[in-house]
Structure 1
């Protein structure tokens, strides 16, 4: 077996994010194991480019990160892009509870998290410790989940202002795997407006569907 690095630390880092070529026919046991894993990440290389394979107890993500290779290689296809919630859709009542909390906090901004328990498969809403809240600024603390609990959604509101992801949001979300949601126009008759994205390995990806049951964009 080829040794990829002679430094033990470097070897451990490379092993944590393995890179697998896709065979031109048949299956790859290594890729199958990664895709079936409870948690992990790696790269699949095929004729159609490089794909990130990311697994969390609540998430299955296969996302192409390059264009197709321009050179001839004896590889197969990495497969289709996909993003699936292993935990299932979040009950709509949790979203309603969060929006009620945000309205009650007006004119200030507010925050909330949706957590999921891997053992019991239940969802919960947690309102974090707020260090500062004004109509244009919010500083809050990300909860530290108890065993079996995972942070799914990180919500914050922009009060009566528009919904958008700021450069501060980008910096905060760059090293997390979660669904980030910002809510705006809470005081507007046509509101609220929500923007959502999947944060994964420094990428901000559009959600193919709403993560909440009963939402008009959920199906």
Structure 2
């Protein structure tokens, strides 16, 4: 087979994010291997468009990144989109603890991480080191985790302000795979307000539902 690139660095980059055509019949061993993996990602191209396929110990994600391609392609279907939590839904009590913690920090902003331990099959709550916190600015440190623990949710508050993702949030989240959540309007009559998204492959995707058990806020 002809090499995809003659430059070693370029070849390594292309190998790290392979692209698999969906066969018109049968299966694709390469695509199936990524889908079954503990952690991996690739692009898949089929008659239904180009898909990003991501696997993490806590996440299964198949998401279209283009609409169906108008040109004739001798390919089959990539399959249905999916966004499944391999770790299961997060206990509701974690969100209650986080909201209480954020309320105690008012009027300043605050932060929290929800971590998945794949060995013990349990969630952990991590309140990170805060370098700066004001009612309109927050600087905090992402925890350094061992290989069996993974960040599922990166959560911060906007104090009494509304919940939204800022340009700073967009830059911070661009290269991450995680659920990002902002909680605002704390301490008010309509408390709390949520903004949420799934970050993967440089995209910000709407959540199909809340990642918390039995919680009814819009995803």
Using structure 2 for the length normalisation, give the TM-score: 0.97
Q: What do residues 30-71 of structure 1 show as CA deviations (whole Å, max 9, x unaligned)?
A: 111111011111111101110000111111100000111111
Unaligned 5+ runs, structure 1: none
1:122 and 1:138 map into 2 onto residues whose CA distance is 28
Map residues 107-122 of structure 1 onto 2, 5 A cutoff. 107-122=107-122
1:8 aligns with 8
1:33 and 1:174 map into 2 onto residues whose CA distance is 26
Q: What do residues 118-146 of structure 1 show as CA deviations (whole Å, max 9, x unaligned)?
A: 11111011111111111111111111112
| Shift, 1:25, TM fit | 1.1
CA RMSD of aligned residues (A): 1.3
1:209 and 1:194 map into 2 onto residues whose CA distance is 13
Unaligned 5+ runs, structure 2: none
Q: What do residues 64-117 of structure 1 show as CA deviations (whole Å, max 9, x unaligned)?
A: 001111111110011111100001111111111111000000111100000010
2:52 aligns with 52
| Shift, 1:7, TM fit | 2.0
| Shift, 1:217, TM fit | 5.3
1:153 and 1:80 map into 2 onto residues whose CA distance is 25
C-alpha contact (below 8 Å) 2:194/2:217 kept by paired residues: no
Q: Match of 1:31, SS? A: helix
2:143 and 2:201 map into 1 onto residues whose CA distance is 20
2:161 and 2:54 map into 1 onto residues whose CA distance is 34
1:196 aligns with 196
Is 1:185 paired with 2:185? Answer: yes
- Residue correspondences, number: 219
Runs of 4+ in 1 over 3 A off after TM superposition: none
Is 1:72 paired with 2:72? Answer: yes
2:175 aligns with 175
| Shift, 1:187, TM fit | 1.4
1:147 and 1:176 map into 2 onto residues whose CA distance is 16
Is 1:40 paired with 2:46? Answer: no
Map residues 136-175 of structure 1 onto 2, 5 A cutoff. 136-175=136-175
